Chains A and B, each alone.
Chain A
Amino acid sequence: MSSVRVLVGTRKGAFVLTADGKRQRWDISGPHFTGWEIYHVKGSPVDQNRLYASQNTGWFGQLIQRSDDGGKTWEPVGNEFMYEGTPGPHKWYDGTPHPWEFKRVWHLEPSLTDLDTVYAGVEDAALFRSTDGGKSWQELSALRNHSTAPNWQPGAGGMCLHTIIQDPSNPGRIFIAISAAGAFRSDDAGNTWRAINQGLRSEFIPDPNAEVGHCVHRIAMHPSRPNVLFMQKHWDVMRSDNAGDLWHEVSGNLPTDFGFPIDVHAHEPDTIYVVPIKSDSEHIPFDAKLRVYRSRTGGNEWEALTKGLPQENCYVNVLRDAMAVDSLDSCGVYFGTTGGQVYASADAGDNWAPIVRDLPAVLSVEVQTLP
């Protein structure tokens, strides 16, 4: 019987939540790396027992942990993230030049095809790759040397590269997103990059239609349709039907189109999920009701999913890497909150229940569907 393993990164450690295919009874393992911020934990699609975790504190910096037994045991691997060459400046919040400084790894994305290859998206924004299972890291520096890079600025959470998507039908194609620079695409495995922000409009920057400067919060893709991308921007939910060449807004009837995560149903490429948040200045659910919104039409028409979620006095947030889906039938949807709850729906969002209620603030949620 299939089972699922939910990988949760929090402000104070990592947790591994497991259940059988019914997804009703859960075992909780953790905390792993107690007291450390775990920005992301993700498993390799090549071998699901191979996991990577990004472990960080302001005191002792960055570590990368690797597990080869599905999270039972962990081994620290390489933690040296050196920018290639002498990095030039980007723009600071006030527009002045500011040197590129490594702070942390936000996102780890294992290769779709090679067990020992894994990508890391870091703050200050850059893309690194390891081909030896995380022991050593090399920057794919063409991204940071993009002609627009001197104009990149940090978002409120820092200048982070938080989204890495590999195209399963085109090994050379990688999408990444940076707050607050925007989205970029490489068609040659990271040797060259182009900004793919046409159609985005951000009222809070001097030129709302600028080539870069957009605070992209998250991008999602269904592997069966890699040219279709969905984006939760700072404000606006967007869609592209041509691999990011042009975006159009699909916020439709959402009560607010600010938010962080966005994800796609495992079996229905036009079914997408977002969690509307009231505003960028408040970061709380609209009307104090925690509601996931689902569109079955690829955007524009949205329905609120509320069964099992708190519908009063709720003031948590759901961060950009804190939503995931499993590939069981029916599709399971999962998200974690800054209040420490991890919610799961075993029926594509119709009904929700907390797996666990009192974890530290959740930074990331990933799901593995195990045979």
Chain B
Amino acid sequence: MIRVVIPAHLRTLVQVDGEVKLDVDGQVTQRSILDALEARFPVLRGTIRDHATLQRRAFVRFFACAEDLSLESPDAPLPDAVAKGVEPFMVVGAIAGG
């Protein structure tokens, strides 16, 4: 079971409290997690990554195990701790503006 933390605005949108728990088939990567997340909550399509290109939106970042993974390949395997559900995969709204 993969644990995913999404930003407060998106939790409100999909009406969940706390973490989202997902079953992910195959290798656990950014792409496979986001595919599973969007399959569970179709309204999230376009809010984390672009509809067409599936690229991460500019002001969204991905973290896990205290590392910023935003610039990693979406198909790179995520740390074992994420794959085993020990640590969450975190979707974070970048701090911008002032």
Contact = CB atoms under 8 A, between A and B. Distances in A.
B46 A36 contact: no
B46 A80 contact: yes
Contacts of A60: 7, 9-10, 47-48, 57, 60, 93
A58 interface: yes
Contact of A63 (B13, B51, B52): B13
Given A80-B45, A80-B46, A61 B9 contact: no
A82 B52 CA distance: 8
A76 interface: yes
Interface in B40-98: 43, 45-48, 51-52, 57, 59-60, 93-94, 96
B9 to A, nearest CB: 6
Contacts of B51: 79-80, 82
A35 B9 contact: yes
A57 interface: yes
Interface residues of A, number: 14
A229 to B, nearest CB: 35
Nearest to B94: A59
B45 A59 contact: no
Interface residues of B, number: 18
Contacts of A36: 9
A23 to B, nearest CB: 33
Which label, helix, strand, loop or mixed, suits the secondary structure of the B interface? Answer: loop
Contacts of B12: 34
A58 B13 contact: no
Given A59-B94, A60-B60, A79 B46 contact: yes
Nearest to B6: A60
Contacts of A76: 13, 43
A368 interface: no
Interface in B1-45: 7, 9-10, 12-13, 43, 45
Nearest to A58: B59
A59 B46 contact: no
Contacts of A35: 9
Among B10, B51, B60: residue with most chain A CB under 10 A = B51
B15 to A, nearest CB: 11
Nearest to B93: A59
B96 A58 contact: yes
A59 to B, nearest CB: 4
A62 interface: yes
Contacts of A63: 13, 43, 47
Contacts of A34: 12
A59 B7 contact: yes
Nearest to B12: A34
A112 B85 CA distance: 52
Contacts of B59: 58-59
A63 B48 CA distance: 12
A238 to B, nearest CB: 37
Nearest to A79: B46
Interface string A44-68: 0000000000000111111100000
Nearest to A75: B43
A135 to B, nearest CB: 11
Contacts of B13: 63, 76
B59 to A, nearest CB: 4
Given A59-B9, A59-B94, A79 B45 contact: yes
11 contacts: A59-B9, A59-B60, A59-B94, A60-B60, A60-B93, A61-B46, A61-B57, A62-B46, A63-B47, A79-B43, A79-B46
Given A60-B93, A79-B45, 20 more contacts: A34-B12, A57-B9, A58-B59, A59-B7, A59-B9, A59-B59, A59-B93, A59-B96, A60-B10, A60-B47, A60-B60, A61-B46, A61-B57, A63-B43, A76-B13, A76-B43, A79-B46, A79-B51, A80-B45, A80-B51
Interface of A: 34-36, 57-63, 76, 79-80, 82
Top-6 shortest CB links A-B: A60-B47, A59-B59, A59-B93, A76-B43, A80-B51, A79-B46
